[in-house]
Structure 1
Amino acid sequence: MACNIIGALSGPNSKLFRSMYFTFARIFPVNFVFPVDYSEDSEYFYRNIIVFGVKTGNRGATGNAGGTGQSDATGELVPAEALSRDEIIKRAEALSREKVTIKRFPEIARNLYQRQIDSEDVVLLTDEYAPVDALLHLY
């Protein structure tokens, strides 16, 4: 599953993103976060943040438990959590040559965010409780 969230990665303007990420992670236990146009000193800025979520478990295709449906060179399923940053970039480059038409796809993959996302002060968003206006810091 993929989603595009507008928000900041950390700081006072990040509660909406962090609440959405916290909620997303409850359903998809393995996540990859790709902030667009990321640099070390820009975590507090609003931006597009692309989040990919993967449910692990038996995919049935090869009978391997714990796979993500992504095959390695031998055709074996590889658990998403086992993918390194370099492997993710290689796969993005290959996919952009073959299937994916998203502009700058490999460049976005290079922005893999590997820091812990703090969720201690955020809420789980539900159909009954989703105070997004209160979480979004409006100027």
Structure 2
Amino acid sequence: MKKSPWPNFSYAELRCRCGKCDSDGTEMDPTFMDQVQVLRERYGKPLAISSPYRCPRHPVEARKATPGAHSLGCAVDIACRGADAVEILRLAMTLPFTGIGISQKGASRFIHLDMAPAAAGRPRPTLWSY
């Protein structure tokens, strides 16, 4: 497999996890990933990517009327909670992410970051909670 240009992220961890496609992680938008790398460097600790690229056949994307930012290769969900979530959010808001979603309840806690363009039903910039 080809080596990723981002020192803290491998293509293997960025590939679709549906098990039905031949994603290899290179589907990620380089401009977006450059900003995720900046976030990682400023944060100073590993970022656990819980949801990277998702192909249109991925179960989450297949349920949508129109596939979302993950299927465009310009979104990740970062598993985090508590003080770490606050710090990641604080740092992310200084970067050019256009969409930030926050899920901080239950067992699966994360912050969604994307740089999806504005579209019908998807105004940008925007912030939401799950």
Q: Normalising to structure 2: TM-score of the pair?
A: 0.31
Q: Which has the larger radius of gyration?
A: 1
Greater RCO (CA < 8 Å, at least 6 residues apart):
1
| TM-score (norm: length of structure 1) | 0.30
